[in-house]
Structure 1
Amino acid sequence: MTYEPDAPRYRSETDKPVHHLTVANARGEAMGYLWANDEDDAAGWCLRPAGDRAGFDQGLKWSAKLDEAKARGLVPTAALAALVRGSDPRCVSHIDPGSLTAAPSLTALTQLAHIVTAADDRRLLAQLDRENADAWRQLREGLAALTDEDRDVQWSKGGEQPDGTRQMSYPLHSRRLERVVRALPAVGAVTPAYLWQDNPPPTVPLDGRMSPADAVRAATAVVRGERFSDGTIARAAKDGLIDAVAESLCSWYATEVAGTHDDP
């Protein structure tokens, strides 16, 4: 068996200034940035974590195009120029041709990519199910019924069992807490439109108040996070995050939806 040598690629890191281009979707919203530095022969894709899954998928395609440019022997900034010429605004993503600019470092570009915009908030709020009145009732009533005992989640007894097997400890959510947690995806607050694994874990604001869009972000991170790490929901219940999320969402629904017609 013979092995082909690794395909040539630009370096993925640089500590020097970078030139970058904005890659946008059909609505003109930034999905990420293509960047380059000739001195270090470096170039790559910088995802906007505040964006959605499409930014991740499109980033793979743009990264592949950078690999093709490297294989053709183009220096990084020449690769950016070639990608601009080949970009088609009719595609899922395209390069904003007038967006070429410079950042003092790759770190600075990464910080730019983490800025949340009003368009990001609107996209997440659009995921909420305005029509599922029963799910919103479950969330509202479930929140009202929560007790301090529900918020202080206990764990099962782990270790060796009577039959000789060993069992991992796991959180024992009360029925009232489960009611609230189940209502979150039902109202649309748990969504693939938020890249929760690419963002910092949610925290409770100092004043306990959370914007509706941030509530969607937190709900997604908590509910999806429980699949990967037992106790994520328990911590969110104990530190007040579940309450802040549910209160924000219920307030949004009461103002934006229920207030426009008779409450079910």
Structure 2
Amino acid sequence: MDVNERCQSLPVIHTQKVEWSKGENKDNVITLSYPIYNDEVKAWIDTFYSLDIADTDYIKNTEKLKFKQIPDLTRDETLTRITAIIRAERFCDGTIAEALENGVLEELGVHLHEVAK
């Protein structure tokens, strides 16, 4: 399967509301709230990585395209943006949740299908 076919295999994840845990302070240990992703979101992330389409140099590449709008992105630039969103979620801070709720992940997914034809 070539890269375009693998990109086409990534399902478009539709905008959704993400549930957040409640932060708490218990025994002087503060737990901040964090997003709770459902099975669809977890499977989508796993699929993204299993298709081997993540941009391994996304940090450098993100800087190059920070001012580009989604309709102007190439296939590889779209993969860079998706990778950056997923990888930014290192501390359960809600980067993926924000991209789901504001529709960016859905828009990137639709665009990826268009540019990977």
TM-score, normalization by structure 2? 0.70
1:227 is the counterpart of 2:93:
no
For the structure 1 residues 237 and 183, does the alpha-carbon distance in structure 2 shift closer, same or farther, using more than 3 Å as the test?
same
- Post-superposition offset of 1:237: 1.1
What is the CA–CA distance in structure 2 between the aligned matches of 1:167 and 1:196, rounded to whole Å?
32
- Post-superposition offset of 1:155: 1.1
For this pair of structures, how many residues does the alignment match?
A: 115
Greater displacement, 212-221 / 196-205: 196-205
Compare CA radii of gyration and give the structure with the larger one.
1
Residues 108-147 of structure 1: pairs in structure 2 closer than 5 A? 130=2, 137=9, 139-140=10-11, 143=12, 146=14
The residue aligned with 2:111 is 248
What is the CA–CA distance in structure 2 between the aligned matches of 1:178 and 1:202, rounded to whole Å?
26
What is the CA–CA distance in structure 2 between the aligned matches of 1:180 and 1:213, rounded to whole Å?
18
For the structure 1 residues 235 and 202, does the alpha-carbon distance in structure 2 shift closer, same or farther, using more than 3 Å as the test?
farther
- Unaligned stretches of 5+ in structure 2? none
Pick one of 157, 162, 170 that aligns with 2:34: 170
- Post-superposition offset of 1:245: 2.0
- Post-superposition offset of 1:226: 0.9
Residues 10-159 of structure 1: pairs in structure 2 closer than 5 A? 130=2, 137=9, 139-140=10-11, 143=12, 146=14, 148=15, 151-159=16-24
- Post-superposition offset of 1:189: 3.2
Contact 1:153–1:172 under 8 Å retained in 2: yes
1:179 is the counterpart of 2:51:
no
- Post-superposition offset of 1:238: 1.6
Residues 182-221 of structure 1: pairs in structure 2 closer than 5 A? 182-196=46-60, 199=63, 205=69, 209=71, 210-221=73-84
Question: What is the RMSD of the two structures over their aligned residues, measured on CA atoms?
Answer: 3.4
Contact 1:194–1:217 under 8 Å retained in 2: yes
More strand by share: 1
What is the CA–CA distance in structure 2 between the aligned matches of 1:204 and 1:157, rounded to whole Å?
36
For the structure 1 residues 173 and 242, does the alpha-carbon distance in structure 2 shift closer, same or farther, using more than 3 Å as the test?
same
What is the CA–CA distance in structure 1 between the aligned matches of 2:67 and 2:104, rounded to whole Å?
7
- Post-superposition offset of 1:164: 7.0
Q: Percent of counterpart pairs with the same letter?
A: 22
For residue 189 of structure 1, give the secondary structure of its aligned residue in structure 2: coil
For residue 88 of structure 2, give the secondary structure of its aligned residue in structure 1: helix
TM-score, normalization by structure 1? 0.36
- Unaligned stretches of 5+ in structure 1? 1-128, 256-264
User: Structure 2: which amino acid aligns with 1:213?
Assistant: D
- Post-superposition offset of 1:247: 1.7
**Greater RCO (CA < 8 Å, at least 6 residues apart):** 2
User: Structure 2: which amino acid aligns with 1:181?
Assistant: I
